[in-house]
Structure 1
Amino acid sequence: MHDPSDHGAITHVAGIEVGHHSDSRRPTGCTVVMARAGAVAGVDVRGAAPGTRETDLLAPGNLVDKVHAVLLAGGSAWGLDAATGAVRWLEEQGVGLDVGVGRLPLVPAAVLFDLHVGDMKIRPDAAAGYAACAAASRQAPEEGNVGAGSGAVVGKMFGMQHAMKGGLGTASVTVAGVTVGALIACNAVGDVVDPATGLPLAGARTADGQALRDTRRALLAGAPPHPLLAGSNTTIGVIATDARLSKVQAQRLAVAGHDGLARAINPVHTMSDGDTLFTLATGVREQHPGMLVLATMAAEAVARATVRAVLTARALHLNDGLRLPCHADMVSTGG
């Protein structure tokens, strides 16, 4: 596995800021990845149960070529309301597309399902999105149980009682003076695995809860999965680069990023996941090493950020009895 002490951050990309809002009333929240000057954007939706906003405008054949932020949130479809708050904050800052009578901020969004963790009536709203923008900075963002990763859970294939805490992670790689970073909120039904070995780092646990079950091997051995509520899992994230890209190239980078999810999550892109990745290209660097290299960098950054999401997660114990250990717990118990 890549050295976790040298993981970088999406904010290493020039022109990118990140802000979180975490709701203290229950584990949920939202995260904004902001490009105030505008960024050429793309998206690729692979999961079969996505919850998204403003993704159609990112199609390469459509008119708008730049957006001003991407909003990631918990709360399932209710959480999309957080993007409205981000739009309001950006408008107040004078950020947005000039439409003659004012500036219109463009903020695509995606959500994950965290309604089984705590009181589902508490979910990110417009005020949460506004607060995330107000908290945004160029500093390396906090990881783990924060923002959109606050209520994230992984390894739910055999029931929530055997699952573990997911979270939010970030990473970046730099080649030839160009940086590609990723920020991932991981709420996958599958396990998060070490890309180098394929062995699970966090995911479904054994019946006694003391060890990792290895979902892939269990399914191939004939273990029946627990009945899953469609759309109750999702990994969402943003890839950012300072390279100058067209909309077609930005969309291709989002496609390549899903290779990183496939390296770090098993199984991934299931009928119960809404896996969605966005790209933001700030264009600060005019020259770049070519799309083949950038695509390789995107996949690597996504894989590393996904691993960070579980390495930095903290255990969660709720009043209703739900216990979600984290990666560190399993290491300490020898699991």
Structure 2
Amino acid sequence: MFGNITDVPRVKVGHAENNEGITGCTVILVENGAVCGVDVRGSAPGTRETDALDPMNEIDRVHGICLSGGSAFGLDAATGVMQYLEEQGVGVDAGVTTIPIVPSAVLFDLFIGDPKTRPTAQMGYEAAKSAIVGPFANGNTGAGYGATVGKLAGPQFCMKGGLGSAAIAGKNDLVVGAIVAVNAVGDIKDPNTRQILAGARNPKTGEWLDCCAYLEEHVQSEALSGTNTTIGVIAVNAKLTKAEAKKIAQLTQNALARTIYPVHTMLDGDTVFVLGTGDKTYPVDYLGHLATTVMEEAILVGVKEAERLAEVESYKNIQIKSIEGTGGN
């Protein structure tokens, strides 16, 4: 077991990054396709092919999910994923060609790095081509490369977000995995202690601003609309209908509510996809509970493993400074 979403059978993950743009994309591929549902809670989403996932609509399987930086420009990365899968003969047989179904969600990571350099179709292709079952780095990886958190008081007070993944074993051979790119406007808190792990922070004093407290005092956020979001995927080796997958995606949003303060704001585009890859059935509430638990863990991994980058402080670097006795500033 690798402790990430590829512990779920038939799931592969690949990443691509651009160092100049400090941006990237992460691709989740599913062998033979999977039933998929989605839930969007943030009010500033950037998505592609999510309407097809409505239980009322015909398409019942997807072949990959693309998570990308670059804001709406980053939706181009999914085109490269489609190109790669088409070359492999993967997709819906439309008679004259095979059409891969690759829903996508993007986050805004243009504050650091070159804002004119964003994920492209070529990056999506490379990420899909590199997709494997096995270990991969969390933090400054793929869609989480340029992610930041704690921007409610303005981006100058933000800290580093990142990509996180985790997996959990359930009853009767069930495996549930999560992968998430954490780029929230709010703070990330430990759900058990309520301690801020990464968020709005004065870079000169090292003091936490606390996004919720800031909003209560100032009423108006200093963050820009559409410049934040948390986007992720749950995979389960369970047999799901589209309606069940959508319900589990809704339940999984509880993980965001337990770790991100505030969450699902007008400034975020929080989006969760759920993939069902198996042939055994399980109670939906049980699947939702495990999905929420593992997504919580993945969110915390994403911020804890992120490295300081482009003068944006990280949880990991603060901990290193604390251990070395140099303080957290």
TM-score w.r.t. structure 2 length?
A: 0.94
Report the residue type matching 1:286 in the other structure: K
- 1:328 maps to what in 2? 316
1:3 corresponding residue in structure 2: none
Over the residues paired in the alignment, what is the CA RMSD in angstroms? 1.6
CA distance in 2, matches of 1:82, 1:130: 7
Cα displacement string for residues 239-290 of structure 1 (whole angstroms, at most 9, x for unaligned residues): 111111001000111101100111111111000001111111112x4143x1
> Which amino acid is the alignment partner of residue 289 of structure 2?
T
CA distance in 2, matches of 1:209, 1:156: 17
Match of 1:78 among 52, 73, 76: 73
Find 1:13's aligned residue among 8, 14, 34. Answer: 8
Give 1:183's aligned residue.
Answer: 179
* Kept after mapping to 2: 8 A contact 1:74/1:113: yes
Q: Could you tell me which of 128, 131, 143 is aligned with 2:126?
A: 131
Match of 1:320 in 2: none
Alignment of 1:288-307 (within 5 A): 288=282, 290-307=283-300
Question: Alpha-carbon deviation of 1:329?
Answer: 2.4
Task: Indicate whether 1:253 and 2:248 are aligned.
Answer: yes
Q: CA deviation at 1:292?
A: 1.1
Alignment of 1:224-239 (within 5 A): 226-239=221-234
Q: Is the CA contact 1:40–1:281 (under 8 Å) kept in the aligned structure 2?
A: yes
Residue 35 of structure 2 aligns with which residue?
40
Q: Tell me which residue corresponds to 2:64.
A: 69
Report deviation, 1:225. 5.1
Shift of 1:218: 4.0
> What is the Cα deviation at residue 209 of structure 1?
4.1
Distance 1:209 1:92 in 2: 53
Deviation (angstroms), 1:103? 1.5
TM-score scaled to structure 1, two decimals?
0.92
Percent of pairs with identical residues: 48
Q: What residue is the counterpart of 2:192 in the other structure?
A: 196
2:3/2:167 contact within 8 Å kept:
yes
Change (3 A) 1:207 1:23: closer
Task: Give 3-state SS (helix, strand or coil) of 1:131's partner.
Answer: helix
Aligned to 2:116: 121
Letter in 2 for 1:326: S
Structure 1, unaligned stretches of length 5 or more? 1-5, 318-322
**What SS is found at the alignment partner of 1:243?**
coil
Query: For residues 296 and 224 of structure 1, what CA distance do their matches in structure 2 show?
Result: 34
Q: Distance in 1 between matches of 2:125 and 2:99?
A: 15
Greater mean deviation of Cα atoms: 174-183 or 210-219:
210-219
**Greater shift after overlay, 25-34 or 226-235?**
226-235
Task: Label 1:37 to 1:216 Cα distance change in 2 as closer, same or farther (>3 A).
Answer: same
Q: Which residue pairs with 1:159 in the alignment? A: 154
2:197 counterpart letter in structure 1: L
Query: Which blocks of at least 5 consecutive residues in structure 2 are unaligned?
Result: none
Structure 1 CA distance for aligned equivalents of residues 286 and 47 of structure 2? 29
Match of 2:204 among 208, 217, 224: 208
Residues 285-326 of structure 1: per-residue CA shift (max 9 Å, x gap): 4143x1111110111111111111100000012xxxxx2110
Query: 1:169 aligned to 146, 164, 172, which one?
Result: 164
CA shift, 1:224, in A, is 5.3
List structure 1 segments (4+ residues) > 4 angstroms apart after TM superposition: 223-226
CA distance in 2, matches of 1:7, 1:201: 24
Instruction: State the shift of 1:96 in Å.
Output: 0.7
